[in-house]
Amino acid sequence: MIIRILPSMFTLGNLFLGIIAIILAFQGAVEYAAIMVIISMLLDGFDGRIARLLNVQSDFGKELDSLSDVISFGVAPAFIMYVVVLKDVGPLGWIVTALFPMAGALRLARFNVKPGIPGYFIGLPITAAGGVLATTTLYYEVFKVPVLVIIMTFLSYLMVSNIKYPNFKKVGFPKTVYFVVPLTLILVIVLAIYFPKGFPRVVFLPLGLYALYGIKKSFRRNKMNKHLADDEFRSELEKR
């Protein structure tokens, strides 16, 4: 019985930390709120893998995962940004704050009903978008308010876009390496305790690069398709 509910326990842990992140944000502990989102990302990455490893995948687990993700990676990062920056922007801050989790919900709904491309996500996953937003918030002293609003709005667009992103969730690991799951969680918790300000800022880099990677690949793909279309057009003209 415990084996069957183990993946759902990870998912509920993800949801629990998302709620804690919201509470911490309103208490002004922004760094720790961002850390809760980061740990939630780890739990979200493990639940599906563990379900496949134990062969206990279910529609219930899939729906629970999506509902948890809306809170942990949609609502929580948006509220972190609101508390740090957007609360002073007025109605625009309300709109931008609401836009992010709404785009995330649309992204998850599409993911649940529309078959994707093997090995790829269509649109930036809400997990990555939420991680980028939560860690970007910690650079509020570097980025000006208009820049942060643009970043948040752009992340919302990326989630509902048709840009392809690599899907690392489907990458399987041998059963023998799954002992790293608790070790990874312990390592992240230790880093969070001893480096509460620096750790989430470092995590921002790989997450930001992932978000930019899809844009770069999409731009290159569109450029290549345009060249192919131009070549075909020239070929047709030569035949005539």
pLDDT at residue 170, rounded to an integer = 59
What gap in Å lies between CA 173 and CA 16, rounded to an integer? 26
DSSP 119-144: TEEES--HHHHHHHHHHHGGGTTTS-
Is the pLDDT at 209 greater than 80? The verdict is yes
Residue 232 lies in a domain: no
Residue 239 lies in a domain: no
Model pTM score: 0.85
pLDDT at residue 166, rounded to an integer = 87
How many domains is the chain built from?
Answer: 1
- Asked whether the beta carbons of 214 and 120 are under 8 A apart, the reply is no
Residue 32 lies in a domain: yes
Q: Distances in Å between the alpha carbon of 80 and those of 3, 86, 121, 124?
A: 34, 9, 26, 20
Residue 236 lies in a domain: no
Beta strands in 50-104 (DSSP E): none
Is the pLDDT at 228 greater than 90? The verdict is no
What gap in Å lies between CA 165 and CA 174, rounded to an integer? 24
Residue 66 lies in a domain: yes
CATH of the domain at 184: 1.20.120.1760
Task: Note the pLDDT tens digit of each residue in 24-58.
Answer: 999 999 999 999 999 999 999 888 878 877 788 88
Give residues with Cβ within 8 angstroms of 212, minimum separation 6. Answer: none
**Exposed, middle or buried, 201 (CB in 10 Å: 0-12/13-18/19+)?**
middle
Q: Could you tell me the residue range of the domain that residue 95 belongs to?
A: 2-213
